[in-house]
Amino acid sequence: MSYRRALLTRWSRRDRLAVLVVAVTVAFLVGTTLLVFAAGAQTATIAAQFDSPGSVTAHESPAAAAANDPDAVVLPLGNANGTTVVGIPENASVGGVALRDAVPPEWQVVTPDEVRSPRTALAVHPDGRSVDTREGANATGVDGAIAAAVPNEGVPLLSALAFFVAGTQQALVVVGVAAACGGLLVGVTTYSVTRMSVRDRRPTIRVVRATGGRPRTVLGLFAARAGLLTAVGVALGYAIGVIATNAAVNVAVVAGLPTSLAVQVSPRAVRVLVPLFAALIGVGIGSGVIASWSAARAPPGSLTDPVSGRSGADTGSSLVARLRAAARPRILGWRPLVPTAATLTAFVLFVGLAAGLAGVAAPIAGGAGPLDGLVDSGTAVETTTIVQPGSTHPVSSKLPAGYADALRARGANASPEILLFEVVDGQPVPARGANYTAFSRVTDADLVAGRAPRNASEAVIGADAAATLDLAVGEQVLLGGSTQPAVTQVRLVGTFEAAGPFDDQVVVPLATARSLTSVREGQANLIRATDLPAVAPGTGSGIGVTGLSTPGRVPAEGQLRVDVTVRNDAPAEGTERITVTYRGTTRTIEVTLAPLRSTTRTVTFPAGAAGTATVQAGDARRDVTVVPRDALALEGVPERAPPRSEPLVRVVNASGAPTRATLTVTNGPWNRSVSTGSNGRTRLALPATPGTYTVRTTAEGATAAEVTVTVAANATRQVETRLAVQPDTPSTLVRPTATLRLSNPWNRTLTRRVQLSGPGATLDREVQLTPGQRTALDSRLGRQPPGEYTVTASVGSGTDATALNATYRVTGDDRIVAALATSGRTGTSGIGQAIEVAFGNFGLLVGTLVGLAALMTVGGTTAAFAAAVAARRRTLGVFRATGATPARVARLVLSDALRIGIVAALLAVVLASVALAGLGAADLLVVFGVRIGFPTLAVLVVCAVGAVLLTLVAAGLALVGTLRAPPASLLADSGPHPPGMNGRSRTRQSHSVGESPRAEPVGGDDDD
């Protein structure tokens, strides 16, 4: 066998170990790339329905917009008394989207005839009335213009898909950083193994050089050897990476984790992996050249084992000397320190990156998740995030924003928010719609510049986002629609600092966010809350009584019908038992309701004896009048009436049903009777003489009933009125309706002015009623926090006006808070949920990569310690030959590994921290628009401890083969050449009778 073939193909156990280490490293890189591409593919799939039909760009003037893209639709912008005015040509559209439908509803739209100059593009009268260019053309200037076009080169009209695509590109930058770490490990491994190979083959190299071989021949052989080792490791690592990532996903599926990642080698992944593999093989070849450089260029006669001088061990007796002696490795020396520190630096760096990624997507504001505390997020805030159960993504979640009112009423901080995925200058920007005051209370955000937004055209930006996008207070930012085609422009009026990913976001008012999404008025994607009251799990179903309806009159000993309206205000389906009580009797109904749904159930009770009684269900109460079975009642008889008027009256029985009866009007000698029809109605003719008259009604088998009426010349014909609020016990999520019922009992047409006022509603109109006409006016009231409220109404004017009021009580905050507190997703931020769901299961992604990184680090460190252990084979052989047990030898080596590991771990933490700080300063650690945070001190401590443990594991693996070998083989030369060619063992031994031998190195290594 030629020396060339021997050097290239004769691989020792250490060489095979090197192949395995390179394979594990490549498996990590392959797994990282495949998982990131799988995650990116899934996010793109989720957002595929949101592909943008076009894009928009902002310009200083319409002329500049037209010059930039002659084919674009130019929309000049102006301002009229604080209202943005936009000129949109008739039927203008981009990509099938009507531009009139894409602008915010608060923008005022006009139709300019043509765009000539900034002064004539758009005109607005000083009074705010918009006109076209034919009149008042110079009334105002133009603030700028928007150009809309089909090519997606500006801000997308629909940004969701572009956000995820750009975010995946940013994630690939982080993968590149991880690849650099992997390349470092490959270089360290191949260097260590090649150096051992060079040492073992010094006699061969000496013979090759002595017989005329050139240095470049030796360098080429060892470079080829290292490249071959690396190439085999790359091929094996590729297979391991593909198998391991698919296995991890399958295990997650079997374990029931919510993941939908589909790992496959896509063409995009191949375009990344092939150059990566080539670079790694190049690193391996370069490491082989460096490791063999000195031996290849040295004179043949010098290629013998060098005899080192004395080690310079500190043999003094001072405390410092003793401490130095205790810290100095006894067997291995400091040879493994540099490669170990290099591999551990790569490990700590990657764990720091993984911690930062976890900080983007995992719990950042409390102790609710396994990845809590991985990122320095400032003051921790215990946060609960509530989303609609069953929603596939927080963007598809729709919750009543009124939940926040219920939570705030109980002393909690609550912020209803809408998630937005924006792209600005080609960079993904996470944004959200929120009231900044509520947002700051649950996020612990502080304004450091400017002020909070005051209207829909203003926004604030996080300090990190401002740095990433190079934006400042006062600048205008163009935003596209997030989940529906739209465009708006906001002015940044403040900069805030907040914990974690919130510092990387733009916060716009809720009204602005709704114009960019499909979230309707009164809704939000999620509710974030802090300081929730303590609620035992399962105590809140969210179902409660919102209405109770009973007849006004019930005959004695009859049946009372009670209609109970219940509503589920929780975000999840619930079941509740509702108790209804009446005169000591209880009825229970069980209700199961879907979220935000209501139903009405009916129960009956024996009415009992005549009198007044109360029905109660939950917080709702209703008084019931029980009358004798033969009682009659007169309805519609006015208290005052003009002479000769004829009001329409009705006679009803005890059940409230109309009945035939006779009515008699008497006053002294005046006595006149009239009979009702089958509908119980009749017109009651009143006398011309003023006075007080008694109206008596009688019917066969019934008890007579009578009322009085005053006939006066100054009496006016009043409209019969009744004001009610339904439901009268609503929850904070329900918008009750105030109903004013009007009836004209008179025999002439009446016109009245009607005014109604209540929380969140006003009504003012003139109503005309023909004789006998009835009508109802409804006004929907606003949602209110718990408390008692009053609705007032006025019918008529002046002294003759009829005033009415109705009260209602908003309830349900306790049960809503209980339902929310037990059904929320604690400790998870909204952006964290979005990315977690988009990635299928972010814990799977990070966990798999951290596991591969740990294996990669163990492999690289094992290679470094294998070289050190191989260099001390004869020393260890002396120990074994003189009676030391394998356990004794293992303790000696592992104690050295501990000393080396502690120093290497400290160096690794320092170097990795500097690297992370530098990468962050270079804006290379931004993922989905969020800067990866710097690891906390706790994470760095955990990394250091983990690095030391990995060092001990690596040293143990490197020592296994040596401990199993017989002492004679350790004392023999370990290379592939005859014994005796590599020099002598130089150890100094001293031991007393009964002790195991203790060896201290006199010089350098046994083999160098």
DSSP string, 903-920: HHHHHHHHHHHHHHHHHH
Task: Give the DSSP per-residue string, 765-778.
Answer: EEEEE-TT-EEEEE
CATH entry 2.60.40.180 includes domain 639-711? yes
- Output the 3-class SS for 220-245: HHHHHHHHHHHHHHHHHHHHHHHHHH
185: pLDDT confidence band, cut at 50, 70 and 90? low
**Residue 816 pLDDT exceeds 90:** no
pLDDT tens profile 91-115 = 888 888 888 888 888 787 776 543 3
Q: What are phi and psi of 163, to 5 degrees?
A: -60, -50
Q: Which residue has the higher pLDDT, 174 or 709?
A: 709
pLDDT > 90 fraction of the chain, expressed in percent and rounded: 25
Q: For residue 731, give the DSSP letter.
A: B
pLDDT score for 131: 38
For residues 865, 866, 867, 871, the Cα torsion angle rounded to the nearest 10 degrees is: 100
How far is 48 from 164, CA to CA, in rounded Å? Answer: 10
Task: Kindly report, residue by residue over 697-713, the tens digit of the pLDDT.
Answer: 999 888 899 999 999 99
* Cα–Cα dist 423/154, whole Å: 9
Q: When comparing pLDDT for 956 and 350, which is higher?
A: 956
Do the beta carbons of residue 438 and residue 416 sit within 8 Å? yes
- Give the global pTM: 0.67
Closest by CA to 74, choosing from 104, 107, 108, 116, is: 116
Q: What is the pLDDT of residue 783?
A: 81
Residue with tokens 């983990």: 946
Would the pLDDT of 306 be above 70? no
For residues 558 and 805, is the Cβ–Cβ distance under 8 A?
Answer: no
850 pLDDT higher than 80:
no
Q: What pLDDT score does 667 carry?
A: 85
pLDDT score for 669: 77
Residue 933 pLDDT exceeds 90: no
The alpha carbon of residue 677 and the mean position of all alpha carbons in its chain are separated, in whole angstroms, by 68
**Interatomic CA distance for residues 894 and 955, integer angstroms:** 7
Q: What DSSP character marks residue 782?
A: P
Structure tokens at 538: 């399962």
CB 48 within 8 A of CB 204: no
Interval 602-613: pLDDT, tens: 999 999 999 999
Q: How confident is the model at residue 696 (pLDDT cuts 50, 70, 90)?
A: very high
Give the C-alpha separation, 949 to 958, whole Å.
14
Report for 238-252, 400-414, 977-991: range of highest mean pLDDT = 400-414
Residue 86: beta bridge partners? 77, 109
Report the pLDDT value the prediction gives residue 245, as an integer from 0 to 100.
79
Task: Check residue 308 and give its pLDDT.
Answer: 38
The rounded distance, in Å, linking the Cα atoms of 367 and 502 is: 18
136: left (phi over 0), alpha (psi -120 to 50) or beta: left
Which pLDDT score is estimated for 932?
78
pLDDT exceeds cutoff 90 at 473: yes
Q: Which two tokens stand for residue 533?
A: 């009251």
**Average pLDDT score over the chain:** 78
Partner residues linked to 611 by β-bridges = 626
* All residues at 6 or more sequence positions from 681 whose CB lies less than 8 Å from its CB, including other chains: 648, 649, 650, 658
Judged on CB neighbours under 10 Å (0-12, 13-18, 19+), 675 is exposed
Least confident of 137-146, 846-855, 887-896: 137-146
Q: Lowest-pLDDT range, 260-269, 667-676, 776-785? A: 260-269
253, exposed or middle or buried, with CB in 10 Å at 0-12, 13-18, 19+? middle
Find the mean pLDDT for residues 289-309.
Answer: 65
Question: Percent of the chain, pLDDT > 70?
Answer: 77
pLDDT at residue 821, rounded to an integer: 66
What pLDDT is attached to residue 996? Answer: 39
Give the whole-angstrom CA distance, residue 197 versus residue 222.
Answer: 9
Phi and psi torsions of 312, nearest 5°: 75, 30
What is residue 759's predicted lDDT score, i.e. its pLDDT?
92
The yes-or-no verdict on residue 848 having pLDDT over 90 is: no
pLDDT per residue as tens digits for the range 639-671: 999 999 999 999 999 888 899 999 898 887 778
The pLDDT, as a whole number, for residue 127 is 36
Q: What is the pLDDT of residues 396-419, one digit of tens each?
A: 788 888 888 888 877 889 999 999
Assign 311 a pLDDT band (cuts: 50, 70, 90): very low
Q: What is residue 550's predicted lDDT score, i.e. its pLDDT?
A: 92
Q: Is it true that the peptide bond before 537 is cis, omega within 30 degrees of 0?
A: no
For 701, the token pair is 């088998």
Q: 668, 646, 651: which is closest to 704 by C-alpha?
A: 651
Helix, strand or coil, per DSSP, at residue 148: strand
**Please, which pLDDT band fits residue 153 given cuts at 50, 70 and 90?**
confident
Question: Range with the lowest mean pLDDT among 237-246, 373-382, 548-557?
Answer: 373-382
Asked if pLDDT for residue 135 goes beyond 50, the answer is no
Q: Which pLDDT does position 364 carry in this prediction?
A: 29
Residue 276's pLDDT is 83
CATH topology of domain 543-627: Immunoglobulin-like (2.60.40)
Amino acid at 710: T
**pLDDT confidence of residue 739:** 95
Asked whether the beta carbons of 308 and 333 are under 8 A apart, the reply is no
The answer to whether residue 307 scores a pLDDT higher than 50 is no
Residue range 598-623: average pLDDT? Answer: 92
Residue type, position 424, single letter: V
Is the fold of 543-627 the same as that of 720-816? yes
The pLDDT assigned to 524 comes to 92
Residue 499 has pLDDT above 70, yes or no: yes
pLDDT score, position 842: 53
Helix 842-871 to helix 337-361 angle (10° resolution) is: 180
User: Rounded mean pLDDT of 63-78?
Assistant: 83
Domain with residues 720-816, CATH architecture: Sandwich (2.60)
d(CA 935, CA 358): 11
* DSSP letters spanning 801-858: PEEEEEEEEEB-HHHHHHHHHHHSEET--HHHHHHHHHTS-HHHHHHHHHHHHHHHHH
**What are the CA-CA distances from residue 634 to residues 341, 686, 741 (Å)?**
99, 16, 19
Output 622 or 61, whichever has higher pLDDT: 622
Q: What ranges do the domains of the chain cover?
A: 3-42+163-314+321-359+838-1001, 55-151, 383-533, 543-627, 639-711, 720-816
> CA-to-CA distance for 661 and 705, rounded, in angstroms?
11
What is residue 1005's predicted lDDT score, i.e. its pLDDT?
40
The whole-angstrom separation of Cα 875 and Cα 852 is: 34
| Whole-number Å distance between alpha carbons of 219 and 204 | 13
CA distance 753 to 755: 7
pLDDT of residue 3 exceeding 70, the answer is: no
Q: Which residue has the tokens 């190195």?
A: 1001
Query: What is the mean pLDDT of the segment spanning 234-259?
Result: 76
Question: What is the pLDDT confidence band of residue 445, given thresholds at 50, 70 and 90?
Answer: very high
Beta strands in 10-161 (DSSP E): 55-59, 73-80, 83-87, 93-94, 97-98, 108-110, 123-124, 130-131, 144-149, 155-156
Q: Angle of helix 267-297 relative to helix 160-200, nearest 10 degrees? A: 20
Q: How confident is the model at residue 375 (pLDDT cuts 50, 70, 90)?
A: very low
| 250 pLDDT more than 90 | no
pLDDT for res 358: 63
